[in-house]
Structures are given as C-alpha cells and as structure tokens.
C-alpha cells in the first residue's frame, strides 16, 4: 500500500508498505530518519518514541497503516517544533531544541541509544507542563529505559530544560 503522512511538518509518502510493517520501520528504513531507535521492538524500552498527532507512542507498536493521514514528530523534528512553539526563528537558526541542549549540558547522554526517545517524551511533557515536579518527570519518562546513566543526569537535564524555559532561555 501507499502510505501518506506528515513527518516533522512535511508531507511524506512511502510505497509498497506492508500493512503489518511498523511505523518505526517506515521512518528508519523508508523515509531515511534513523533517529528513532529500535532496541526491543516490543514496546518495552521507549527508544523508538515519536509523537503521533501530538501523543508520545512507541513507534515499534504502531502499524504503518495506522499512521495514514496523521502527523508524526521524530527526534529529528524537535528543534523545528521548538522554534514553531516559540513563534519565531527561521529554520537552521538553532540546531538543537532546548531539551536537546539541556541533555548535553547536564551530561545525560552516554551510549545515546535511549536518548532520542527520552528527548521526544521529555519535550512533550515540558510542552504540557513547563514546571514539572520530579514525580511528574519520572512518570512522563517511566516508559523510557536507560541502561547507562542511572537516570539522575536525565532528571538533571529535564530540570535544567524546565528552568531555562521559565527564564525564557
């Protein structure tokens, strides 16, 4: 089947898609967007998290056909999404979304395999709740597993992104 969807603000299409193929496969293998990672392919780890019509989902569990006509945001689209949210800037003005910069500055990235999914989930939470408690952060990221960091640096990064957001940085 032919799949039509919007990815990171752009209309995209993919041909010869099998109905049972996952959205993750389509993104990575057909649309050239390898940012979303495939770690478990069972909905357990969150490394494949993308937004589907605004809602974070494990893209390994979404059948490609379910994404027909819908809007997907991947980690590759976070900077642009942040620019649009802040109502300004031209593409290329800032290379990273604030949450991405915060992960770097807080040292929250080790092997990086979990990072794209965490970034998408954290960015969505900060959009809903710019001043989250630690419990809010833990709940929002509870579906995203990290084998390396022990999570404290990730907590630091999200707190940093929230603090910078409240300061308008």
Smallest gap from residue 115 Cβ to ligand FES (A): 6
Residues 106-125 that bind ligand FES (CB under 6 A): 109-114
CB of 113 to ligand FES, least distance (A): 5
Q: Which of 3, 31, 45, 119 binds ligand FES (CB under 6 A)?
A: 45
Give the footprint of ligand FES on residues 62-101 (CB under 6 A).
none
Q: Which of 60, 65, 85 is nearest to 19 (CA)?
A: 65
CA separation for the pair 107, 168 (Å, rounded): 22
Report how far residue 52's alpha carbon sits from residue 148's, in angstroms, rounded to the nearest whole number: 27
Do residues 38 and 60 touch, judged by C-beta distance below 8 A? yes
d(CA 137, CA 81): 20
- For residue 166, the minimal CB distance to ligand FES (Å) is 26
Beta bridge pairs of residue 11: 6
Q: How far apart, in whole angstroms, are the C-alpha atoms of residue 157 and residue 144? A: 15
Here's the x/- map for ligand FES, 135-164, by CB under 6 A: it reads as -----------xxxx---------------
Give the per-residue contact string, 48-67, with ligand FES (x = CB under 6 A; - = no).
x---------x-x-------
Binding site for ligand FES (CB under 6 A): 38-41, 43-48, 58, 60, 109-114, 146-149
């Amino acid at each position: 089947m032919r799949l039509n969807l919007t990815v990171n603000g752009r209309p995209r299409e993919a041909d010869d898609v099998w109905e049972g193929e996952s959205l993750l496969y389509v993104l990575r293998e057909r649309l050239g967007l390898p940012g979303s990672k495939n770690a478990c392919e069972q909905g357990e780890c969150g490394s494949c998290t993308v937004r589907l019509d605004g809602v974070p989902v494990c893209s390994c569990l979404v059948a490609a056909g379910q994404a027909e006509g819908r809007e997907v945001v991947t980690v590759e689209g976070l900077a642009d999404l942040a620019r649009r949210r802040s109502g300004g800037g031209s593409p290329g003005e800032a290379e990273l979304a604030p949450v991405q910069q915060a992960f770097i500055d807080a040292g929250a990235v080790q092997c990086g395999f979990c990072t794209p999914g965490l970034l998408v989930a954290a960015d969505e939470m900060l959009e809903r709740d710019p001043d989250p408690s630690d419990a809010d952060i833990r709940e929002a990221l509870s579906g995203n597993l990290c084998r390396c960091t022990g999570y404290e640096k990730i907590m630091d990064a999200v707190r940093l992104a929230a603090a910078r957001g409240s300061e308008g940085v």
